[in-house]
Amino acid sequence: MKHLSWRLGLGAALVVWYIFAVAMPGDPQTTSAIHGFSRTRVEKEFQLEQKLQAIPDPAHAESNLRHLTSEPHMAGTEASHRVAEWLLAQYRSFGFDAEIVTYSAWLPQPREIKLELVAPQKLALASPEQPVDGDPDTLDQRVGPAFNSYSPSGEITAPVVYVNYGLRADYRELESLGVSVEGKIVIARYGRGFRGIKAKIAEEHKAAALIVYSDPEDDGYVLGDTYPRGPWRPLSGIQRGSVMYTEIYPGDPLDSDAATSPNAKRFPAATASDLPHIPTMPISAKDAAVILASLGGQHVPRGWQGGLAFTYHIGPGDVQAHMKLVIDYAPRPVYDVIAKLHGTDDDEWVVLGNHHDAWVFGAADPGSGTTTMLETARAMGELARSGWKPRRTIVMCEWDAEEPGLIGSTEWVEANGPELQAKAVAYINADVAVTGPNFTASATPSLKELIREVTREVPDPATGSTVYQAWFDHAGRPQEPAPALPRQPSGPDPPNEVPIGNLGAGSDFCPFFDHAGVPSIDLGFEGDYGVYHSLYDDFYWMKHFGDPTFVYHAALARVIGTLALRLDEADILPYDYATYANDIARATTRAVAHAAQVPGEDSTLRPITEAAAQLMESASRESQALRATSIQSLGPAKIAEVNRTLSSVEQALLTPEGLFGRPWYKHTVFAPGSYAGYAAEMLPGINESLDRNDLSALRIEVDSLAAALLRAAARLDEVSRLTQPSGDSSPLSGH
């Protein structure tokens, strides 16, 4: 203890004290049996949840998914519009007040996607995905060519170099082997990072173009049987996808910070900092094998060999490829469906969402989520019909143009920023929502305990126990090796608990959480899923592998519905800021260890260590205060004020200037990593300044984070003050 405090300062000592003395076990915020509910309302809430849980139905889910996957419906096409209209009708039929909100965004249509080997021999590549027996959808003539959205058009003939996953460490390895990629076409395998990051890094290393392919080791036959025999990617399967630099900003690339109407002023594409500049295209393992097997040059380093049936080489040898991409970018309509079930209090919103646009048929991505949301909405509609009126307004959103770059959600969040921040108490996202039987979730730390609580109330389809128990049995804490310092991908979960990740990027929670500071959740059931972003992510796949009986769709609708009801009906919103403060304090400790590797930077981080300690104290006091409070005695006005304050704590963690080099990202505690892509980075400003060895940026980020933590602490102090027994209204003593 002494030793620790000597090394890490007072703040760290407080972390240790806090973790052992205060944060365990989880402290309920109220004295009732469910967090946030006064005792008298618990029974009724359980009854309401039971009623809701009886409604979702696998047969409904199946029939909805069959409809949603009946034609390819990429964003910017008329098919996507048809899906939006159908969803609108569905929500209206459930009794929601629904509308289509249309934006215009700079969207691609592929015109010519061509790749050929020109040396050592001429061979046409970029072959389409092969139809499979028994699955008529794979014969659909409306399926377009696979491409990477936001790749520029271009034509290039150049030697080819294999760059493994195309991450920064891979290029360092190439450099150490004396291989330059300048002017070359690089070929990278998918995996271990967002494809847009691969494009950015390739561009940074002066590659002329990028090919990304799906190696059988990563989602194909090495892992298990391939479609249609199994759920994994067949040799001809192609992963489409966006290469927009969404880690800079998502949404319409030509308008980085405001809602976009057809007539809005846009800046030119050349100045958009989230657009890649080198042509990029995805290909199948089958096409990649032709290129990779022909490569000369050195044998690849350890770990670069994939699952194809030959020895991988770096290249180039005499291999030359010719790539030609003609992609037509233009402002095209984006159709969001926004459906509201108005509550008694229309000034507080529980927001739920998923996108509806798909790369092809999109059974798992996004159909499983859309279908689940529809069942959740249908259940709520039925409750409303039977006399229930939500306490807060339920807002269900079906986003368009998520695939090209989270466009529908981002534009809506940007357009409705102040109202959303004033009203939204949470955002629940369910994108690739069902691909198998294993429950999984990522969330803001303040809502992690709520997820565990709710999954204890929903039956697991396979085992007959609860979703929570099956989740624990599959993913419980003991299986996870402790991650090494100084970074940790997810927050520290309580011992013997199921792990819940932090929110990274890759779906529509991003604008809500990272930009607007709305406490967010992303969740689903996952399994073996190798057909991501391919032709084969279709109804037949779901019916044979993902969820053949649709019971997990129904179970997820129950989980989401129950989560929404808790957030909707709670007297005091059930945030857990003790866990949040704890996670931040641990991240701070890791950042200190990270900084210790940079000479002379041992004291720079003191402001954040101190602020994190302050936040822990405030959170501890707040949770104790809420636990000691009789909700009834507070009265409606004070309850509203407490809730307003509680739901603004996440926003207190935003910084108006945003992060270094990417001002759209406002959250000081979480962001997608600048070179990780999907994965969440904690204290991104601090850690990325340290990575860049940019000490002047570091000082700014330290001040900005410390200020954010103190703002959050002040709001929690305000909650403690508001919930003081009325006889004692003295302000809290300072620390």
Instruction: Mark 300-339 with x for binding to its own copies (rule: CB under 8 A) and - for no binding.
Output: -----x-xxxxx----------------------------
CB 292 → its own copies: shortest distance, Å?
Answer: 12
CB 227 → its own copies: shortest distance, Å?
Answer: 11
Q: Residue 172: helix, strand or coil by DSSP?
A: helix
Residues 6+ apart with CB under 8 A from 327: 108, 109, 110, 111, 113, 147, 149, 151, 152, 153
Sign of CA dihedral 283, 286, 291, 296: positive
222 contributes a contact to its own copies by CB under 8 A: yes
Of 47-55, 167-175, 228-236, 242-250, which segment contacts its own copies by CB under 8 A?
228-236
Residues 6+ apart with CB under 8 A from 702: 604, 605, 607, 608, 686
CB 481 → its own copies: shortest distance, Å?
Answer: 16
Tokens read off for 71: 């034609």
CB 226 → its own copies: shortest distance, Å?
Answer: 7
Q: CA angle 122-128-133, nearest 5°?
A: 130
Q: Active site includes 402?
A: yes
Best CA proximity match to 523, nearest among 496, 556, 493, 561: 556
CB 112 → its own copies: shortest distance, Å?
Answer: 31
Distance of CA 118 to the CA centre of its chain: 40
Q: CA angle 120-124-128, nearest 5°?
A: 145
Of 179-187, 220-228, 396-404, 712-720, which segment contacts its own copies by CB under 8 A?
220-228
Please identify, using beta-carbon distances, which residue of 219 and 460 lies nearer to its own copies: 219
Please identify, using beta-carbon distances, which residue of 93 and 311 lies nearer to its own copies: 311
Q: Residue 230: helix, strand or coil by DSSP?
A: coil
> Cα separation of 151 and 280, whole Å?
5
CB 549 → its own copies: shortest distance, Å?
Answer: 21
Q: Which of 116, 225, 497, 694 binds its own copies (CB under 8 A)?
A: 225
191 contributes a contact to its own copies by CB under 8 A: no
Q: CA angle 451-455-460, nearest 5°?
A: 150
Of 1-9, 227-235, 315-323, 473-481, which segment contacts its own copies by CB under 8 A?
227-235
Please identify, using beta-carbon distances, which residue of 187 and 295 lies nearer to its own copies: 295
Please identify, using beta-carbon distances, which residue of 221 and 670 lies nearer to its own copies: 221
DSSP string, 260-298: --TTS----GGG-TTS--S-EEEE-HHHHHHHHHH--SS
Q: Give how far Cα 5 sits from Cα of 11, 12, 46, 619, 653, Å.
A: 8, 6, 46, 21, 26
CB 477 → its own copies: shortest distance, Å?
Answer: 21
Q: Which of 91, 106, 150, 221 binds its own copies (CB under 8 A)?
A: 221
Please identify, using beta-carbon distances, which residue of 529 and 577 lies nearer to its own copies: 529
Q: Which of 49, 398, 402, 403 is catalytic?
A: 402
CB 436 → its own copies: shortest distance, Å?
Answer: 14
232 contributes a contact to its own copies by CB under 8 A: yes
Please identify, using beta-carbon distances, which residue of 222 and 596 lies nearer to its own copies: 222
Give me the residues paired with residue 186 across strands.
Answer: 161, 210
Please identify, using beta-carbon distances, which residue of 226 and 579 lies nearer to its own copies: 226
Please identify, using beta-carbon distances, which residue of 162 and 399 lies nearer to its own copies: 162
CB 310 → its own copies: shortest distance, Å?
Answer: 5
> Cα separation of 84 and 75, whole Å?
11
Please identify, using beta-carbon distances, which residue of 34 and 285 lies nearer to its own copies: 285
> Cα separation of 343 and 657, whole Å?
34
Q: Which of 136, 183, 224, 548 binds its own copies (CB under 8 A)?
A: 224
Three-class HEC string of 326-373: EEEEEEEEEEEEEEEECCCEEEEEEEEEEECCCCCCCHHHHHHHHHHH
DSSP string, 63-119: HHHHHHTSS---TTSHHHHHHHHHHHHHHHHTT-EEEEEEEEEEEEEEEEEEEEEEE
172 contributes a contact to its own copies by CB under 8 A: no
- Phi, psi (5° rounding) for residue 242? -85, 145
For the chain, how are helix, strand and coil distributed in percent, rounded to 5? Answer: 40, 20, 40
484 contributes a contact to its own copies by CB under 8 A: no
Q: Which of 28, 56, 196, 216 binds its own copies (CB under 8 A)?
A: 216
Q: Which of residues 598-637 bind its own copies (CB under 8 A)?
A: none
Q: Which of 77, 138, 226, 645 binds its own copies (CB under 8 A)?
A: 226
601-639: b (≥16 Cβ within 10 Å) or e: beebbebbbbbbbbbbbbbbbbbbbbeebebeebeeeeb
> Cα separation of 168 and 366, whole Å?
30
Q: Residue 621: helix, strand or coil by DSSP?
A: helix
DSSP string, 544-567: III-TT-HHHHHHHHHHHHHHHHH
CB 47 → its own copies: shortest distance, Å?
Answer: 45
Which of the 8 DSSP states describes residue 596?
Answer: T
Please identify, using beta-carbon distances, which residue of 312 and 675 lies nearer to its own copies: 312
Give pairs for 305-314: CB < 8 Å, separation 24+: 306/189, 306/215, 306/216, 306/217, 306/218, 307/215, 307/216, 307/217, 307/218, 307/220, 307/221, 307/222, 308/215, 308/216, 312/162, 313/162, 314/161, 314/162, 314/174, 314/177, 314/179
299 contributes a contact to its own copies by CB under 8 A: yes
> Cα separation of 675 and 434, whole Å?
28
CB 123 → its own copies: shortest distance, Å?
Answer: 19
Q: To which residue do tokens 């036959």 refer?
A: 221
> Cα separation of 615 and 247, whole Å?
28
Of 31-39, 63-71, 185-193, 215-223, which segment contacts its own copies by CB under 8 A?
215-223
20 contributes a contact to its own copies by CB under 8 A: no
Q: Give the interface size with its own copies as a residue count (CB under 8 A).
A: 17
Please identify, using beta-carbon distances, which residue of 290 and 377 lies nearer to its own copies: 290
Please identify, using beta-carbon distances, which residue of 221 and 471 lies nearer to its own copies: 221
Please identify, using beta-carbon distances, which residue of 120 and 224 lies nearer to its own copies: 224
CB 434 → its own copies: shortest distance, Å?
Answer: 21
CB 531 → its own copies: shortest distance, Å?
Answer: 15
Residue ranges binding its own copies (CB under 8 A): 216, 221-226, 229-230, 232, 299, 305, 307-311
Which residues are annotated as catalytic? 402
